[in-house]
A and B are shown apart, each in its own frame.
Chain A
Amino acid sequence: MIRRKLRPGVIGGAVILYLALIGMVEAFEDRFIISNVIGLGTTLVLVTLIGTGYLASKPAEEHHDPPALAGLVTGAFAGLFIAVCVVILEAMLSAGIQVRNVFVSVTPGLLNVLEFGAGKILGPILLVIVGAALGAAAGALRTLAVEWRGAIVYGLSMVLGISLAEPLLVGVIDGLSIPSDWLYDAARGGLTVTGTIITLVAAGVGRWFWLRKRDTVVQFRAHMPDDRRRKYSRVAAGVIIGVLVALPWIVGTFISDVLGTVGLYVLLGLGLNIVVGYAGLLDLGYVAFFAVGAYATGVLTSTASFLVTSNRDQFAAHGFLNFWVALPVVVVIAVIIGAAIGAPVLRLRGDYLAIVTLGFGEIIRTLVLSDWLAPYLGGAQGLLRVPPAPPNSWNLRDPRNLYYLIMAFGLIGALVAYRLKDSRVGRAWAAMREDEDVAEAMGVSVVRYKLLAFAIGAGVGSLGGVFFAAKIGSIFPNSFSLLVSINVLSVIILGGIGSIPGVVIGAFVLVGLPEFLREFGEFRLLIYGAILVGIMILRPEGLIPNKRRLRELHVADQEAQMGELVTEEPA
């Protein structure tokens, strides 16, 4: 067994070494996870050791190593690996060898973190012991009952999560004018010891009860009478809307601005979700409808639009149309263009469709830059002076007002998507996605429903363009690159294809996360990438997968009917 666990141990140690050498361990050590107790750098080392021990203690079919022992050995190897590296680096530093010419991050400070501040001799020994202990603990987790394991893992994760979310949460808690000093140490940063214990216990106990009572809750829900259930979901919807309304006042203008951008992607995601998730048409040129929405809004409302002024340097007093009048016009234009783009690709399936739509996305951008349309759409100089959306006319571009507008339309978009999903139209789309020929044989006009999916997807997505124009105020062709299409597609894949809450969560993670990771400076995109890869490995079906959910509203009376039918039929 000792030889078997050498490899995972060394891999775990190498991960820590990597994190140390690229500078993350030392750079993050200043950031306290628990104030004055443990920094993020050390936490990174410890979490990696735990993870190594946990993964390596997975029971294999051919060997029956006791998990705790397997974890202990692996952890000890990982610790040993780092300890050896630390000793070598210490030796090199004291011999005056210029390690930093190659590894800029190898400083006495870094070694001090890796030694847990215990010095050159005790430190490496401590590393092995800590590695072995954490590995053993992680392995022992596997032998615990599932509730206890869940409680411990969840509790520790929440401590880490809440501590990392400090910059965000402090703002929120202060916004609610609740004291936050019991939870966070304002002076040094990080959780207070009391806060840590409360978080750990609350999260652990909560998780424990949830794991234990989950079945009861599910049963309770399943057997709830329809009207009660409807009442509850109405209350839940009310609470969610209430939170959404209150949110910008709690989190402040900067985060409201981020939320606005997230909202744009929610709108785009909802639209693309209809095309890709419902109808199964892989559209890689979705940015086209975003661009159509933005440019149509620009042309119709800008005071520099060719519709209201013939001279580029003279601005009219008003745009051609008022924002609210322009909005439905834009959606109608997008629907028409969506159907027009859909028409030539109706006969294509799968990969071919994806490639052609990819082309459409680029064509729109190229058209804007072309000599033919540049005089009307501004070409590379952009289309300027798009007025902000109405409530902002008297309040300039307050992100909070825009947030409300986007949120309102996001809710409408979600409602549209939700209602369509389980309708006759949604079923026709699903059938088409599953098997085009059979859908056709069952009477679904594939031509008609493909066009419909493109048109509705375009209409919903164009709203994203409308608010983008109103948010930014000037529109340039380079805002509509392929990257937008890819991002929107990533939003729905990350959230779970075909799932409406998935779109919202996906947009939050994909668009919101980089903003909240700013704290990590140069490591931001590295962490962001690692998180996305991790999510897709752990949940390939998306964060909130689209369960082919039970037809909740009908299931009860169906069962009743079924009972009658079955008894009627002696068979």
Chain B
Amino acid sequence: MSHLLELGGISKRFGGVQAVDDVDFHADLGEIVGVIGPNGAGKTTLFNIVTGFYRPDSGSIHFDGHNLVGFKPNQVARVGIARTFQAVRLFANMTVIENAMVGQHTRTKSGVFGAILNSRRTTAEERRIVDSAINALAFFGDSLTPRLNQLASELAYADRRRLEIARAMATEPKLLLLDEPAAGMNPAEKDGLIELISRLRDEKGYAIVLIEHDMPVIKGVCDRVAALDYGSKIAEGTYDEVAANRQVIEAYLGKAASEAQS
């Protein structure tokens, strides 16, 4: 019964704007859920609430036995939720491998004294960090592995997107939140992305929630789709169900268009 991630009645208001309005949502391991909706529908706000950047005004967030309301972002990462950002946000002046190594932060614990004394535990842990970072990067075939020591800012756009996902993978999450991963990609790259996201589920078993405007991508990977408009969930179901939903068509194309279609 209980889902890996379960949101109940989440609401969030910014001044006069009801950004998220009484949203219920859930996601499970091995499942890919799409979140769609017009600009300003509250999709990214929802991500920010789940990852602790915003505190919801009301509602509950349960994840893997934790009640996440009031968690700080770093605590959310610790319990196993990783995310990417709408505009790629890498650590630009760090190398590719260092970016991925930062992802390992929550899974390791050596501190100041370990580092200063260069204790055996620290060196062993450091080796482990490098290994898992390389592992996460190797998931992307040979697009990132040959560039371990390049600065993140020197990467091509698609590789930056990949590195952002690799960095999230390095946190060893159970749930991966992808915020518009296809933005700015060409059709060929989008096909690659569809394959990649499916592989993430099949090989890593993550629960994946992605926000996306690109319908072919949503159609290509999502087991389930939720549509938001003005902060409320207006539809949920398979892609075909949601795409045929009258309210969804209205939200995207306006009322007249939906009447014309029916």
Contact of A425 among B112, B138, B149, B151 (CB under 8 A): B112
| Contact status A430-B148, CB under 8 Å | no
Most buried by A among B73, B85, B130, B171: B73
Chain B interface, number of residues (Cβ within 8 angstroms): 54
Residues A414-452 near B (CB distance < 8 A): 415-416, 419-420, 423-428, 430-431, 434-435, 437-446, 452
Q: How far is the CA of A562 from the CA of B96 in the complex (A)?
A: 14
Chain B residue nearest to A420 (CB atoms) is: B115
Question: In the complex, what's the smallest C-beta–C-beta distance from A452 to chain B, in angstroms?
Answer: 7
Q: In the assembled complex, how far is the CB of residue A411 from the closest CB belonging to chain B, in whole angstroms?
A: 13
Restricting to B40-63, which residues have a CB under 8 Å from any CB of A?
51, 53
B141 contact set on A, CB distance < 8 A: 569, 571
Interface string of A536-571 (1 = CB under 8 A from B): 000000000000101100110010011001100101
Q: What separation, in Å, do the CA atoms of A273 and B19 have in the docked complex?
A: 42
Q: Let me know if B89 and A438 touch, CB within 8 A.
A: yes
- Measured CB to CB, the closest approach of chain A to B3, in angstroms, equals 22
Interface centre among B101, B112, B171 (most CB of A within 10 A): B112
Which residues of B sit under 8 angstroms from A452, Cβ to Cβ? 112
Instruction: Please judge, given known A-B contacts A441-B77, A548-B93, A566-B145, whether A456 and B138 are in contact too, CB under 8 Å.
Output: no
Q: How far is the CA of A479 from the CA of B200 in the complex (A)?
A: 60
Which chain A residues lie closer than 8 Å to B103 at the CB level? 442
| CB atoms of A424 and B91 under 8 A apart | no
Residue interface bits B147-172, CB-to-A below 8 A is 1, else 0 = 01101000000000000000100010
Task: Give chain B residues whose Cβ lies under 8 Å from the Cβ of A423.
Answer: 110, 114-115, 122, 126
> Which of A415, A420, A444 is in CB contact (< 8 Å) with B105?
A444
Label chain A's interface by main secondary structure: helix
B226 within 8 A of A: no
Q: Determine if A419 and B116 form an interchain contact, defined as CB atoms under 8 angstroms apart.
A: yes
B11: interface (CB < 8 Å)? no
In the bound assembly, the distance between CA atoms of A409 and B231 in angstroms comes to 59
Give chain A's interface residue range (CB within 8 Å of chain B).
35 or more
Q: Does B111 contact A (CB under 8 A)?
A: yes
Given contacts A442-B171, A444-B102, A550-B149, contact A424 B94 (CB under 8 A): no
For B102, give its contact among A431, A550, A561 (CB under 8 Å).
A431
Q: How far is the CB of B49 from chain A (nearest CB, A)?
A: 13
> Does the CB pair A434–B93 fall under 8 Å?
yes
Cross-chain contact B129 with A424 (CB below 8 angstroms): yes
One digit per residue, 1 when the CB lies within 8 angstroms of any chain A CB and 0 when it does not, for chain B 58-92 equals: 00000000000000111011100011010001111
Residues A443 and B94 in contact, CB atoms below 8 Å apart = no
B2 at the interface (CB under 8 A from A): no
Query: Does B134 touch A at the CB level, under 8 Å?
Result: yes
The answer to the question of B97 belonging to the interface, with a C-beta cut-off of 8 Å to chain A, is yes
Specify which chain B residues have a CB less than 8 angstroms from the CB of A441 in the assembled complex: 51, 53, 73-74, 76-77, 82-83
* Residue numbers in A under 8 Å from B78 (CB-CB): 443
CB pair A443 B77 closer than 8 Å: yes
Q: Let me know if A425 and B111 touch, CB within 8 A.
A: yes
Is B240 an interface residue, CB under 8 A from the partner?
A: no
- Within the complex, what minimum Cβ distance (angstroms) separates B110 from chain A? 5
Smallest CB–CB gap between A399 and chain B, Å? Answer: 29
Mask of A145-156 contacts with B, CB within 8 angstroms, 1/0: 000000000000
A427 touches B98 (CB 8 A): yes
Q: Does B125 sit at the interface, judged by CB under 8 A?
A: yes
Q: A428 with B102: in contact, given A558-B148, A562-B148 (CB under 8 Å)?
A: yes
Given contacts A442-B167, A443-B74, A446-B74, contact A566 B110 (CB under 8 A): no
Q: Which residues of B contact A443 (CB under 8 A)?
A: 74, 77-78, 105-106, 171
- The answer for the CA separation of A441 and B175 in the assembled complex, in Å, is 13
CB distance B94 to A430 under 8 Å? Answer: yes
Residues in chain B near residue A439, CB distance under 8 A: 91, 102
Given A423-B122, A424-B110, A443-B171; A438-B72 close (CB under 8 Å): no
B232 within 8 A of A: no
- Give the complex CA separation of A565 and B144 in angstroms: 12
- Tell me, in angstroms, the Cα distance from A555 to B149 when the chains sit together: 9
Q: Establish whether residues A442 and B134, one from each chain, have CB atoms under 8 Å apart when the complex forms.
A: no
Given contacts A548-B94, A562-B138, 18 further A-B contacts (CB under 8 A): A424-B115, A424-B129, A425-B110, A427-B101, A430-B98, A435-B89, A437-B89, A438-B90, A440-B72, A440-B74, A442-B77, A456-B112, A548-B151, A558-B97, A558-B148, A561-B131, A562-B146, A565-B138
Residues of B at under 8 Å CB distance from A?
A: 51, 53, 72-74, 76-78, 82-83, 85, 89-95, 97-98, 101-106, 108, 110-112, 114-118, 122, 125-127, 129-131, 134-135, 138, 141-142, 145-146, 148-149, 151, 167, 171
